[in-house]
Structure 1
């Protein structure tokens, strides 16, 4: 997808049995996805579970939502490493079917080029009308979410071993395995396409829901202190 540094982002779609997953440099143009993203961050339960009490819920305007996605994800993540957030939508029982030429691996299919255009429609018209339910993302934590390193801190491994997994799903879809299905797909994609060697994550200590999800994905408690937040647990998972 584009160059190694993310200077350009090729349009792709990842299909899983239930989901269609699109990089946010494409999905930012979809009004329904921006509305969903804004609604998530205006929902108290979502913000408290995912970010803790230090991230208050607040309704963003559409302009603010665009600015946040552009600055926080596209510029800091996709343009630097060719990794970032993906919009997660529902496929429906018979929508977005791949053909025999699409690249398939396990339970996911990657659509590129003409295959992508065939599914997405002219100017992504088919994708824009999807029911978007959340996001799942991968980012180099050393250049995004981690605090600056200080004298005496251990030397960090290569960035391909410091890829942070993040996800967020609308509360009305909680408990349906959507975050797990989407995360598994983008993790495999990043191993195959970006050479990722290790994943990390952090959760609020009381967020047992995310802890169980990470364990299902193969994560274990790492004992690291990358984020230096006593209220958080840190996790890791070697690429397979």
Structure 2
């Protein structure tokens, strides 16, 4: 089982016990406003998400990690890698993404977990490039992208949802931990 420890977090594969706390995170419209269609997700949709992330782990050798607090084991959210399916400028590339419960915002957890996911991409999976696709106006995620050293590459409308997204990239051969 793939597990990464940071000073405050554990990034690991998904467990059955993660469904309820992740469903609570997905039910928060403020958390979800910049993800997918911008609306909250049901428990059933959350179960489908976890199943899809686990399938990606099996097929690609990477995916979104469940992120928990090291001390308490409380689920913070999801951070990790996936193969981008939109926009066209990003399709097929490995993208980093995150979603954290609102109570965990502003504490550096997203940046800490994202750094660990990039290290995993380089050291364990041998990837040489990772992108991020952000909804325009998502200033909190833009801050994480900046801390990761990613640079803006493109802007495009999302083909399904219609809002504008920005594509950022980083050459992992130059990535510094």
Same fold at TM > 0.5: yes
CA distance in 2 between counterparts of 1:135 and 1:68 reads 11
1:237 partnered with 2:170: yes
Q: Given the alignment, which residue of 22, 26, 37 partners 1:37?
A: 22
CA distance in 1 between counterparts of 2:2 and 2:126 reads 18
Give the match for residue 12 of structure 1.
2
Q: Given the alignment, which residue of 89, 95, 98 partners 1:167?
A: 98
Preserved contact between residue 28 and residue 66 of structure 1 (Cα < 8 Å): no
Map residues 1-240 of structure 1 onto 2, 5 A cutoff.
11-23=1-13, 27-29=14-16, 31=17, 33-48=18-33, 50-51=34-35, 54-61=37-44, 64-70=45-51, 72-75=52-55, 77-92=56-71, 130-141=73-84, 145-146=85-86, 162-223=93-154, 225=156, 231-239=164-172, 240=175
Q: What is the DSSP-based 3-state SS (H/G/I as helix, E as strand, rest coil) of the residue aligned with 2:154?
A: coil
Structure 2: stretches of 5+ with no match in the other structure: none
Higher helix proportion (structure 1 or 2): 1
String of CA shifts for 1:164-191, please: whole Å, max 9, x gaps: 0010111011000001101101110121
Aligned alpha-carbon RMSD (Å): 2.4
Q: Taking CA–CA contacts closer than 8 Å with sequence separation of 6 or more, which of the two structures ends up with the larger relative contact order?
A: 1
Q: Provide the TM-score with structure 2 as the length reference.
A: 0.85
Measured after TM superposition, the shift of residue 59 of structure 1 is: 3.2
Preserved contact between residue 133 and residue 167 of structure 2 (Cα < 8 Å): yes
CA distance in 1 between counterparts of 2:19 and 2:163 reads 32
CA distance in 2 between counterparts of 1:204 and 1:146 reads 12
Measured after TM superposition, the shift of residue 225 of structure 1 is: 4.5
CA distance in 2 between counterparts of 1:226 and 1:197 reads 26
Higher strand proportion (structure 1 or 2): 2
Measured after TM superposition, the shift of residue 238 of structure 1 is: 1.1
Measured after TM superposition, the shift of residue 37 of structure 1 is: 1.2
String of CA shifts for 1:131-154, please: whole Å, max 9, x gaps: 11111010122xxx225x6xxxx8
Measured after TM superposition, the shift of residue 210 of structure 1 is: 0.6
String of CA shifts for 1:196-217, please: whole Å, max 9, x gaps: 1111111111111111110011
What number of residue pairs does the alignment pair up? 171
Q: What is the DSSP-based 3-state SS (H/G/I as helix, E as strand, rest coil) of the residue aligned with 1:168?
A: strand
CA distance in 2 between counterparts of 1:225 and 1:85 reads 24
